[in-house]
Structure 1
């Protein structure tokens, strides 16, 4: 089976998007990735790369009247969320696909996605849970499911679900928590009750991320990263993909300083999941700039102030009246300028 995927990103996530593509190339027997470039620079670079299993779609070709109408009202992050369902819709309709799966650009595949599609079977749509660690269960208020791997089949039930999600995101998609919605992701909470033939993927190697990695034990066995819910690894499965949400790093000339996530990440995961990824991203950056790649020490750090901020983010927002105050005063990473597209220096 040929797998059809789509993703969206701009120049800020260019190296991550290329890493995602390379991981699919490594672990998929047959696939095609439809990349929606959200600025001129990323479109130019990706087009010049002539990726064998990708189609690059410019923002001007993708945007329609509905999206352009709401674009001025949303920040960059909110507009990207608004467009997620529309990218799947565009790919299916414009390239006559029998299915398409949206992938977040900040993910990396470590194994074949075959087990996911075997689990989906003949279902019309598929979603993945956040699978929050026990101490983070309160975060389900932002959505039980994660917009990281969302599958739709081009059939009656799949297109009905996709159309509803797409129209809902165009109508409302903001970084504000309401009772029934938050960004594009809380809409997924209603898929099972509203639509038929929905699959909720159960494979524990799907969507491992900072918010759930403590649920699992990780080891390398026979050259492959494997996960198990128990420490003795008697029953283990491959880590299929990891979601690097919140990863930041900078090169100060001598070493690479990285904040892997707002949440604390264990040493074993830093060594086996984060270090190779950061090295790959820096390697891609050197390739794009035509500079010599020099391997540098990676220093992982999480400042005390970040720990304090995360404590309040996780605990203050547990209570509705405190959440109201938080959103009234918030100054967070989603408060970005409302312009997108064109060149980014």
Structure 2
């Protein structure tokens, strides 16, 4: 059975989204990746790249008029968050009964085969990824939630679909990049899912969704061309806050340069290859975060 993944791309995430796709190709024998393109630029680029095992879809394919009606009311990131549970449902509808669909943010990268996650927690219907914040980020959990919506797994069975439907309704009702009444985007709602639905678990597999908000809790090493987190293989790293601002420069809005050699260097190596390939089929394309303003604490690195 194929591992089924889905992600959302805008033109600003195309470069990283294709790096994500290549990391799956390298680390997973059989998979499908549903890519929801929210603008014409991302759809055109991905179509021309002929991405193996990828299924490209547009917002129209979700066949939900309500999603069209709120598009002008929300910022791009807020709208993409709103779309997330609807994309998961679309992927479930295209998948075998009992199989798992994993949503992954486009700035995720796999360093090893994720199949072990599904084998370890195969009796659960929904698998949530804890932020597991380091001390420096502990205060964030109260506002942004216990779980990270950038990596979440739903099994194609009734109970999981009920939980997904509930999440859809909440996101359609309110999904903004602000803190209000115990809500934050699509993410804070996840805190309630284990209390409202049965058979929900937190992913216990080591090395999953390691990110700037928890990396200081771990020791990273390299052995036999593999990256280890403490004593376990790194399965996937979330390059949250990695923003491409020019063809040769990126900003680290979160995290530091301490893991550059182990994580950022190989990531950038693939990223540069992706940028070169896109330049061949779409000269002049610039999927850069040029207009975004970063905090004074951001680190800048050459790519």
Give the paired residue count.
285
The change in CA–CA distance for 1:285 and 1:257 in structure 2 (over 3 A counts) is closer
1:277-307 deviation per Cα after TM superposition (whole angstroms, max 9, x unaligned): 123212211111129xxxxxxxxxxxx9613
Residues 329-344 of structure 1 aligned to structure 2 (within 5 Å): none
Alpha-carbon shift at residue 45 of structure 1 (Å): 2.0
- 2:252 aligned partner: 260
- The SS at the match of 2:36 is strand
Pairs within 5 Å for 1:58-77 = 58-62=58-62, 64-77=64-77
Structure 1: where are the runs of 5+ without partners? 229-235, 292-303, 311-345
CA distance in 2, matches of 1:185, 1:243: 16
Structure-1-length-normalised TM-score: 0.78
Partner of residue 327, structure 1: none
TM-score by length of 2: 0.88
Matches within 5 A, 1:1-345: 1-62=1-62, 64-94=64-94, 98-141=99-142, 142-228=144-230, 236-251=231-246, 256-263=248-255, 265-267=256-258, 269-290=259-280, 306-307=296-297
Cα distance in 2 for partners of 1:250, 1:282 equals 13
The Cα of 1:91 is off from its aligned counterpart by 1.8
Is the 2:253–2:295 Cα contact (8 Å) retained in structure 1?
no
Q: Distance in 2 between matches of 1:185 and 1:100?
A: 18
Matched-pair contact (CA < 8 Å) for 1:260–1:274? no
Contact residue 130 and residue 211 of structure 1 kept, 8 A: yes
Structure 2 unaligned blocks of 5 or more: 282-293
3-state SS, counterpart of residue 211 of structure 1: coil
Paired residues of 2:108 and 2:236 also in contact (CA < 8 A): yes
User: Do the aligned partners of residues 273 and 25 (structure 1) sit closer, same or farther apart at CA in structure 2, a change above 3 Å counting?
Assistant: same
Which structure would you say has the larger Rg?
A: 1
Q: CA RMSD in A?
A: 2.0
After TM superposition, give the deviation of residue 251 of structure 1 in Å: 4.6
